[in-house]
Structure 1
Amino acid sequence: MRNELSFRLMDTHAGGDVSRIVLGGIDTLPGATVRAQMEYLRDDADGLRRLLLNEPHGIPEMSVDLIVPATDVEAQAGYIIMEVMGYPIYSGSNTICTATALLESGIIPKREGVQHFTLEAPAGLVHIEARVENGVVEAITCGGLPSYIDTYRATVHVPLLGNVTYSVAYSGGFYALVDAIDLGFHLTRDEERDLANCAHKIVEAIQAGQGFSHYTLGDVGPLPFLHFMGPVEQVADDFFRSRSTTYVHPGVICRSTTGTGTSARLALLHHEGRMKAGDRLETVSLRETGFIGTIIGTRQEGSHQVLENTITGKGYVLARSEVVVNCEDPMVECTGLHHILTSGHPPAEE
């Protein structure tokens, strides 16, 4: 065989966000926890992320989820999330896609009806409820990270935009939350590029003015995300709907509303007294896809009221494939790959 490496993928999407699930072909990573293994990839072996999110194998709008053995005895599998901005410790859409892929690949046996299992993310244990009908995974409900409001209705001056009012929530990352109508947007697909440009300006202005610190994690880096909020429609006594979209990186608007963005929105609506425990919010994307967030309850952590929540969505399988990495290809960078990728072809999927 020539200078080639290969591994097995299942491409999926949830809400339009494509997640490439790496099912096999990766060597055992060092680290006593999934979080430590993620830090190893981030600091010493970033080649897999770059390979699958750049040409010729991918594009920056995708995400990558690497399946690894769980290190916690309560979990059936672990997973490491890779995105264009780095290695988030949690993501709702990636969790929905990962859980779907684990079931559809048979790594976790699929059973008709409702089944429960636990995954280990870099953020910790994530409890999954899967609903299977006629052999198809119709819905995944996963626990969102505990979310809270850090900043409520602050104002920042943004060049070319003027003064912008925003709130900041933590839901797995710090999110700026802004009113789309106030900024002249109706959250339609033709606005996507303008939304990305606007969000970038606002995020840069907020980053220049202050940093944010989690009450237990400390400094988790500069605020990376912005969530545009449309008007809230009350559909039933305990059910609400709102158009939304999430900016994650210069030029990148997520195709879904994102799970963590939905959790951030729940935290804000609860903070404002507009939603309570048991209420549900469906966030609707520019592509008319949606996730449903549910408020489970709250608890007090120091000065923060922390929201427990779940996110529900459906993952779809797009492709099953074996990726061949030809290190003689001038388009492919193999630096940081040889020490984590097993040479040769992976075993066939059962």
Structure 2
Amino acid sequence: MKFERSLDLLQVHCQGEIGRVIIGGAPDIPGATILEKMNHINQVDDSLRRFVTFEPRAHVAMTTNLLLPPCRADADAAFIVLQPDRAHPMSGSNCICVVTALLESGRVRMVEPETTLRLDTAAGLVIARARCKNGRCLSVSLDNVPAFALALDAPVRTTAFGTIRADIAFGGVFYALVDVDQIGLTIEPANARALAEAGIAIKSDLRGQIDIHHPGIAGLDEVAYVMFRAREGGGTIRTCTTLKPGRVDRSPCGTGSSANLACMFARGEIALGGLRTSCSIIGGTFTAEAIGETSVGPYRAVLPRITGSAWVYGREELRLSPDDPFATGFALSDTWGPQVGDL
């Protein structure tokens, strides 16, 4: 893939989860829709993804978001989530990073006290409402794509933990949601390595056990992440999403919180207008609200609203030298985890 000799990025994090945003220098990606562009990256040419997500230009606990012109007339901007394993259609924390970057860099005009943006993603249209003051984006509320439960309490045979129960749900990508007490751990920083390895192992165990497909989006046919969860007082859900090749999400995870909201909605544990707080492994929080009901194919779905905050903390330029021996990057298991060879 050919692109300019340098890429311009804003450094942004959402509740501790790094979601850099490419704001200049990226190449055009073939495709008539953002979904087609994402599939091109995954199926045809992943050199840009590897360049911005692997060492020596990145580290494992980092995502890079590719800003694109929207493909649909009713959207203001578009983006694709680039991670070490593949390009993904949607991420709540990364969407909040993108909105914050667009507004604070002046690429979209900020209107105080609230700016509304419509974002074209491979998962569908996401409407973002940013609370703004004195040139700062204080928080972002995402009206996410419809979320639905594919299976509740599905038995999953695992190598390390025997048969466990998991909810399979879509919140922008597909999740397997697992009550963490089934694996004998708690969600806390000291257990991050063990949680990451357990989640990646369970993701591997899931292959072939549950038929997964999105009725309206071609290519979304596998569990992207395993999210561990634990209920706490006051309706708070402590979350820990595990990402390939072997790390945990630092944020409370917006798409995972949407998927969990869909499971609670399907069980009758939350009604329209109800809110839950998602709390991350390091204590950051999102709120998840059920703002409406719809259907996705044969599935009853909830319309989730996820609210959180991000911070722009720097700017960087990535340069590619023609003689760079690591143009497509590298990864080592000392920090990237035991499944680094699968990337």
Q: Report the TM-score, using the length of structure 2 for normalisation.
A: 0.89
Contact 1:52 1:59 in 2 (8 A): no
1:191 — aligned with what? 191
Q: Which amino acid aligns with 2:247?
A: V
Contact 2:9 2:317 in 1 (8 A): yes
Q: SS state of the match for residue 207, structure 1?
A: coil
Q: How many residues of Structure 1 are paired with residues of Structure 2 in the alignment?
A: 327
Q: Distance in 2 between matches of 1:314 and 1:295?
A: 19
1:331 — aligned with what? 326
Q: Distance in 2 between matches of 1:45 and 1:310?
A: 33
- Pairwise CA RMSD: 2.0
For residues 41-96 of structure 1, what are the alpha-carbon distances to aligned partners after superposition, in whole Å with 9 as ceiling and x for unaligned?
33333111101111110013211111111222222222122112211111111111
For residues 17-49 of structure 1, what are the alpha-carbon distances to aligned partners after superposition, in whole Å with 9 as ceiling and x for unaligned?
111111011233333222233333333331111
Alignment of 1:267 onto 2:262: yes
Contact 2:288 2:305 in 1 (8 A): yes
Contact 1:228 1:244 in 2 (8 A): yes
Alignment of 1:289 onto 2:290: no
Structure 2 unaligned blocks of 5 or more: 330-343
How far the C-alpha of 1:279 sits from its partner, in A, is 1.1
Alignment of 1:21 onto 2:21: yes
Contact 2:125 2:145 in 1 (8 A): no
Contact 1:100 1:315 in 2 (8 A): yes
Q: Which amino acid aligns with 2:192?
A: E
Alignment of 1:136 onto 2:131: no
1:177 — aligned with what? 177
2:158 — aligned with what? 158
Alignment of 1:250 onto 2:245: yes
The structure with the larger Rg is: 1
2:293 — aligned with what? 298
Q: Distance in 2 between matches of 1:220 and 1:79?
A: 17
Q: SS state of the match for residue 40, structure 1?
A: helix
Instruction: Give the stretch that moved more between structures: 240-249 or 49-58.
Output: 240-249
Instruction: Give the stretch that moved more between structures: 74-83 or 31-40.
Output: 31-40
Q: Distance in 1 between matches of 2:54 and 2:131?
A: 34
Contact 2:146 2:296 in 1 (8 A): no
Matches within 5 A, 1:79-90: 79-90=79-90
Question: CA distance change for structure 1 residues 135 and 304 in 2, over 3 Å: closer, same or farther?
Answer: same
Q: Structure 1 vs Structure 2: percent identity of aligned residues? A: 29
Contact 2:146 2:304 in 1 (8 A): yes
2:75 — aligned with what? 75
Q: Distance in 2 between matches of 1:302 and 1:40?
A: 26
Q: Distance in 1 between matches of 2:201 and 2:30?
A: 39
Contact 1:211 1:223 in 2 (8 A): no
Q: Which amino acid aligns with 1:109?
A: R
Contact 2:146 2:294 in 1 (8 A): no
Matches within 5 A, 1:84-99: 84-99=84-99
Q: Which amino acid aligns with 1:162?
A: G
Alignment of 1:9 onto 2:4: no
Question: CA distance change for structure 1 residues 228 and 325 in 2, over 3 Å: closer, same or farther?
Answer: same
Alignment of 1:280 onto 2:275: yes
Q: Distance in 1 between matches of 2:293 and 2:33?
A: 28
How far the C-alpha of 1:171 sits from its partner, in A, is 1.4
For residues 222-244 of structure 1, what are the alpha-carbon distances to aligned partners after superposition, in whole Å with 9 as ceiling and x for unaligned?
3231111111422xxxxx31211
Structure 1 unaligned blocks of 5 or more: 235-239, 335-350
How far the C-alpha of 1:291 sits from its partner, in A, is 1.3
2:102 — aligned with what? 102
2:35 — aligned with what? 35
Instruction: Give the stretch that moved more between structures: 196-205 or 27-36.
Output: 27-36
For residues 289-342 of structure 1, what are the alpha-carbon distances to aligned partners after superposition, in whole Å with 9 as ceiling and x for unaligned?
1111110121244531111111111111121122211121223339xxxxxxxx
Contact 2:214 2:221 in 1 (8 A): no
Contact 1:151 1:168 in 2 (8 A): yes
1:204 — aligned with what? 204
Q: Distance in 2 between matches of 1:160 and 1:42?
A: 30
Structure with greater contact order relative to length (CA < 8 Å, sep ≥ 6): 1
Q: Distance in 2 between matches of 1:141 and 1:215?
A: 26
1:347 — aligned with what? none
Contact 1:139 1:312 in 2 (8 A): yes
1:114 — aligned with what? 114
Q: Report the TM-score, using the length of structure 1 for normalisation.
A: 0.88
Q: SS state of the match for residue 258, structure 2?
A: helix
Alignment of 1:311 onto 2:306: yes
Question: CA distance change for structure 1 residues 219 and 128 in 2, over 3 Å: closer, same or farther?
Answer: closer
Q: Which amino acid aligns with 1:200?
A: I
Alignment of 1:217 onto 2:217: yes
Instruction: Give the stretch that moved more between structures: 288-297 or 33-42.
Output: 33-42
Q: Distance in 2 between matches of 1:34 and 1:226?
A: 25
Contact 1:131 1:137 in 2 (8 A): yes
How far the C-alpha of 1:161 sits from its partner, in A, is 1.4
